Amino acid sequence: MKLITVLLIAACLQVSANGFSQKVTIKENNISLQKVFEEIKKQTGYQFFYADEVLQTAGKVSLNIRNGSIKEVLDASFKDQQLGYTISENTIIIKRVISIPTVNDPPPIPVVTFIDIRGTVTGENGQPLQGATVLVKGKSAGTKTDANGNFTINAEPNAVLIISYVGYETMEVNVKNLTSIAIQLVPAITIGEQIVVVGYGTQKKSDVSGAVSKVDLEKAKAIPTTNVAEMIRGQAAGVQVTLGSARPGGTSNILIRGRNSIRGGNDPLVVLDGFPIETINDVNPDDIASIEILKDASAQAIYGARASNGVILITTKRGKVGKMRVNVNNYLTTQKLSKNFDLYSAEEFAQLRREARRTSNAVVGGVQPYSPDSVNFGGTTQALEYVNFAKGNYADWEKEVLQTGIINSHTISMSGGNENTKLFSSVNFFNQKGLIPTADYKRGTFRINLEQKINNRASIEANLNLATDKQRLESSNLDFITISPFAGPYDDMGNLVRNVAGTNASSTTINPLWNIRESDNDIKTNLFNLNLVGNYKLTKNFSYKLNTLLSRRYTDQGIYITSIHGSGVTDKGRANVINNLREEYLIENIINYKGQLSDKHKFDATFVQSVNQRNTSRTKSEGTGFGNDILRYDGITNALFFKTTRVEEQYRLASFLGRLRYTLMDKYLFTLTSRYDGASVFAENNKWGFFPAAAVAWQMHKEKFLSNVKAISTMKLRVTYGAVGNQSLDPYTTLGVVGNYPYIFNGVLFSGYLPGTQLNNLNLSWETSTTLNAGLDFGLFNNRLTGSIDYFNTRTTDLLTDISLSGTGGYTNTITNGGETKNHGLEILLSGNIIRNKDFNWNVTTSYTRYRNEIVKTGVTGVDGEQKNDIGRGRYVGTPINNIRTYVFDGIFQTDDEAKNSAQGSLGGTITPFQNVATLLAGAIRLKDVNGDGKITDDDQVVFATDPKWFSSISTTFSYKNFDLLADLYIVEGTMKSNPYLSSFNEGGTLQSVRNGIKVDYWTPENPSTTFPRPNYGAAPQNVSSLGLRESSYVRLRTLSLGYNMQNSLLDKMKLSGLRVYITASNLFTITDYKSYSPENNPNQFPDTKSFTFGLNIGL
């Protein structure tokens, strides 16, 4: 911390505090061009790129310009100077349009018709360029340079030569009677050429040979959120993001190219500024400068053991040379409930209960007459419900429990620096109140990124990230919408009641607002991340880098259930306090080499030695039996029954890795990568794993047979093949773990320990995923249409799988490397710049991903050695990893005879939908006899895949002058989910069929529905058919955002560098057949929302 403080003070002393401006004011007489460049750089932050020789013959200028543009100043300065320039982003490249001073000028010669002109062409470092083209402007004469960069050409004394070379700016040289000239070309900087971050370095996108996607942050940040995963959704082909929890502070799940592992561990590795982090939400979205996603083995292999599920590389913002710039970003969001289903009205619910009573009476042979107007609902209906029904006192439980969600976010950042010191720093405060009372989330973050140049060889970097947050979780069961509308949360005096349907009601009718009040669930987290980096240039070609990481995360969770809570009465109050500490250390020694044998042969290499250690500790205190509830979980030590358990774990990973890249003629790209990892989770003989990869890419558009095809701007073919590892094991699994079994002796409680029920396996080793990837990147019509197509095929072997044991030896399961899966898919990304002119631009980007995984081996073998299904864990050979196995819903029986004479009516079957065959009635569900044997047995169950068949996104942006509009559609097709409010319906019982919930068209004698069965009060098994298994495909308008950027003339008057206002609507509409608050969540989970945001961004 002392080092950080010293560096921060130094930075603040060296960095100016004035903001950049795009306008330039100069009033000077007889000044050099270098002085002009310095003044432009000082006022705008723009950098200049030129060779010193370019300005040797330049004259001085006099300028008197006020609030002029950069173009105006440069045009005035270069008048009669025979110089030119191009602007690429924040860099201005100066080039010559005349001859450079001659080498050994010969004495004047008489003017002749033609002269021999000799010259030398060199690159930016003075190296001769072989094969450079030298043409006479307006003539057919031309030549090429030899191996030493020399050329000779015959031309008129006043001819203009055009010199060009791949990778360099084309230069025009006015001969002007010179017979010997030296020409130094400037490297070409392609406007719009993307620089992408890859493992341990960066590359131009055109030089990347692996499957790497770069996220468009301008679109990604259109959704105001702290959930970085949601920013990525739809921004890259092959990357699937699903909502994990919609609660405040909730997270999302990320899958890159689907699932490969059976046991788990399908989450990608997240790397922040070169260092792995625990969760993607550790970074403030406003601090992010770029996000890249590594998807194939060649790109991932540099991260080896942790990269089998892909890698997400996040780079935070850095200080830039120039005066200090301050940016303020604030937004306010309101959230409303979003759903696509109806609840029963009070009268409809009453009729539902009447129908359940009619079915129940028919089952037991009752003779009570049925009447659609009966006030006797039967079943569990309470006296208070009858009273409220008679009075017309009905409750709308959504309105009673839910509220409007509010989000506030405030970020202040500053950036600036000089050639020696660069600084970026930010502070963010975020506050979210959820739809459910007590569900909220507060977070504060602080970041400082400091770069300090020590001398021409050495520099250091320090990146500090601090965060603190508090999350309050909802304590109520989200099944509140199933509560009877005849019950209410308040009594006649307006006081909360515990039992909504009277004192004799079952626990399922506890008032959700009561439970919210009588419980706490608070999670507090403090995060400290410090990266210290040292850089040293050893030679012209070699450099050394030292990376170090210190990370510390402390989480404190307090849970309390009062003695009058719906589930706390028997315990007389219950408390849990859980403390988690995670500390991580990482040291990396990195050597980089970059050089070339000639302009045809270019090399760069990276070698890394890395050591990573992670220590975790968990302390859990539990207490029950409290004299009062005043202190809540803070009084846990006052519990009548109190115990504490503690677990400590350590994990280590040692690695050696290397990458070699070779470029031939800037057309053929070769990459070799390997990593050798040793993990402490494995036994001594299997700790190390070796993971190599290779990649080849071909810049096809640079070949002669395509160079004249005007429609093709760029075209690159990529092929990669390689392996990465996975190690989804707890630290001491291979050693065997003992369990805590306390015992009482002489009335005293003692701690005791016995071997766990899992048999250890000293032969466990790495999972290995081997991937073949073939891809094509292209740009057409002057890059108006760009895109990429990738096909991948992955085979994962030696999968870690759980195997059940007989238990006779005291062990019930073990883990082996017996599993295997395969996964293949297709990704397409297209981006079109449809309209591009001065005032109006229209862009459309779309992505499409389709993949299919399959279990090849479950790890369970029969006596014959053949692979068997692992039914208990839902793993079936030849089926997808994610699946649901159940009987097939085949409609509704319309008559009693049809039901009793069906396959379900067979006494030889293993299942009936109600208690016994005699209860099969008209209105019951019909199960499909899949194998046609006249019985319903386990063999009739079918495996349904739940992962999507494909998913896609379509985003379009419009900009007109200072206005911009973004619309973003997200499409998921072929997913399946089991809806608990529908799957429980089909068997009746005291379940959702006689409670409130999703309104359906159920069967009655008067309404012979074929979609849902008749309600019933009788108890019965649940989830025996696919009735509740529903397709959850959807089309969603994720984002609709309108923004305005204030024009420069007004900004100058307000002394601002920028001002933007925007309005964003999220999840504005969703088209889906899945009945829930969100097609990604079930209706008993935290409700998803549609949100509306107003934001203001100010640059000072």
Q: Which residue has the higher pLDDT, 179 or 826?
A: 826
Average the pLDDT over 134-143 and give the result: 79
C-alpha 500: how far from chain center: 42
* Judgement on whether residues 203 and 287 belong to the same structural domain of the protein: yes
**What does the alpha-carbon distance between residue 926 and residue 369 come to, in Å, rounded to a whole number?**
27
Residue recorded with tokens 């203009």: 160
Residue 612 in this model has a pLDDT that exceeds 80 = yes
User: pLDDT tens, 368-395?
Assistant: 556 667 777 776 677 788 888 888 888 8
**What does the alpha-carbon distance between residue 1043 and residue 220 come to, in Å, rounded to a whole number?**
14
**What does the alpha-carbon distance between residue 912 and residue 987 come to, in Å, rounded to a whole number?**
10
Q: Which residue has the higher pLDDT, 925 or 655?
A: 655
990 in a domain, yes or no? no
Backbone CA torsion sign across 342, 347, 351, 354: positive
Percent helix / strand / coil, the chain, rounded to 5: 15, 45, 40
Q: What percent of the chain has pLDDT above 70?
A: 87
Question: What is the rounded (10 degree) CA torsion for 355, 359, 362, 368?
Answer: -30
- List Cβ neighbours of 929 (8 Å cut-off, separation of 6 or more): 903, 935, 936, 940
* Judgement on whether residues 171 and 241 belong to the same structural domain of the protein: no
**Which pLDDT band, with edges at 50, 70 and 90, does 1016 fall under?**
confident
**What does the alpha-carbon distance between residue 339 and residue 981 come to, in Å, rounded to a whole number?**
14
Tell me if residue 922 falls in helix, strand or coil: coil
Residue 527 in this model has a pLDDT that exceeds 90 = yes
* pTM of the full structure: 0.77
448 in a domain, yes or no? no
**Which pLDDT band, with edges at 50, 70 and 90, does 193 fall under?**
low
| Number of domains making up the chain | 4
Domain endpoint, select from 68, 96, 124: 96
| Residue 424 bridge partners (DSSP) | 415, 449
**What does the alpha-carbon distance between residue 932 and residue 142 come to, in Å, rounded to a whole number?**
83
Q: At 318, list the tokens.
A: 């850095």
39 in a domain, yes or no? yes
400 in a domain, yes or no? no
pLDDT of amino acid 586: 94
Domain endpoint, select from 940, 971, 998: 940
* Judgement on whether residues 199 and 292 belong to the same structural domain of the protein: yes
Q: CA angle 997-999-1001, nearest 5°? A: 140
C-alpha 793: how far from chain center: 22
Average the pLDDT over 54-64 and give the result: 79
Q: At 125, list the tokens.
A: 């470092």
**What does the alpha-carbon distance between residue 1013 and residue 891 come to, in Å, rounded to a whole number?**
9
* Judgement on whether residues 199 and 178 belong to the same structural domain of the protein: no
Closest CA to 816 of 903, 742, 729, 717: 729
* Judgement on whether residues 152 and 220 belong to the same structural domain of the protein: no
* Judgement on whether residues 168 and 208 belong to the same structural domain of the protein: no
User: pLDDT tens, 573-592?
Assistant: 999 999 999 999 999 999 99
Q: At 937, list the tokens.
A: 């047995």
1025 in a domain, yes or no? no
**Which pLDDT band, with edges at 50, 70 and 90, does 83 fall under?**
confident
* Judgement on whether residues 914 and 936 belong to the same structural domain of the protein: yes
Helix (H) or strand (E) run with residue 316 in it: strand 311-316
Residue 220 in this model has a pLDDT that exceeds 60 = yes
- Cβ proximity of 386 and 379 under 8 Å: no
Count of helix runs (H) and strand runs (E) in the chain: 14, 54
3-state SS, one letter per residue, for 1035-1055: EEEEEEEEEEECCHHHHHHHC
pLDDT of amino acid 463: 95
pLDDT of amino acid 811: 80
Closest CA to 947 of 1090, 825, 768, 1039: 825
| Mean pLDDT (the chain, rounded) | 83
1001 in a domain, yes or no? no
**Which pLDDT band, with edges at 50, 70 and 90, does 100 fall under?**
very low
User: pLDDT tens, 660-698?
Assistant: 999 999 899 999 999 999 999 888 888 999 999 999 999
* Judgement on whether residues 62 and 130 belong to the same structural domain of the protein: no
Closest CA to 432 of 472, 481, 489: 472
820 in a domain, yes or no? no
C-alpha 1052: how far from chain center: 38
**Which pLDDT band, with edges at 50, 70 and 90, does 261 fall under?**
confident
- Cβ proximity of 463 and 7 under 8 Å: no
pLDDT of amino acid 913: 45
* Judgement on whether residues 215 and 308 belong to the same structural domain of the protein: yes
Question: What is the rounded (10 degree) CA torsion for 15, 16, 19, 24?
Answer: -110
159 in a domain, yes or no? yes
- For 564-711, where are the E strands, in sequence order? 574-596, 601-624, 641-664, 668-679, 688-699
- Cβ proximity of 50 and 74 under 8 Å: no
* Judgement on whether residues 45 and 120 belong to the same structural domain of the protein: no
- Cβ proximity of 1076 and 340 under 8 Å: yes
**What does the alpha-carbon distance between residue 329 and residue 410 come to, in Å, rounded to a whole number?**
6
CATH number at residue 274: 2.170.130.10
Q: Burial, 999: exposed, middle or buried (Cβ in 10 Å; 0-12, 13-18, 19+)?
A: middle
CATH number at residue 83: 3.55.50.30
CATH number at residue 159: 2.60.40.1120
**Which pLDDT band, with edges at 50, 70 and 90, does 991 fall under?**
very low
- List Cβ neighbours of 996 (8 Å cut-off, separation of 6 or more): 343, 344, 349, 397, 481, 482, 483, 484, 485
Domain, as residue range, for 245: 195-320
Average the pLDDT over 21-35 and give the result: 79
Tell me if residue 484 falls in helix, strand or coil: coil
Q: Which residue has the higher pLDDT, 974 or 169?
A: 974
Q: What percent of the chain has pLDDT above 90?
A: 29
- Cβ proximity of 87 and 75 under 8 Å: no
Tell me if residue 193 falls in helix, strand or coil: coil
pLDDT of amino acid 822: 94
Q: At 854, list the tokens.
A: 């399959």
Question: What is the C-alpha radius of gyration for the chain, rounded to an integer number of angstroms?
Answer: 35
pLDDT of amino acid 103: 45
Domain endpoint, select from 62, 96, 130: 96
* Judgement on whether residues 8 and 73 belong to the same structural domain of the protein: yes
* Judgement on whether residues 206 and 164 belong to the same structural domain of the protein: no
Closest CA to 716 of 664, 772, 668: 668
Average the pLDDT over 454-474 and give the result: 93
pLDDT of amino acid 596: 85
pLDDT of amino acid 924: 82
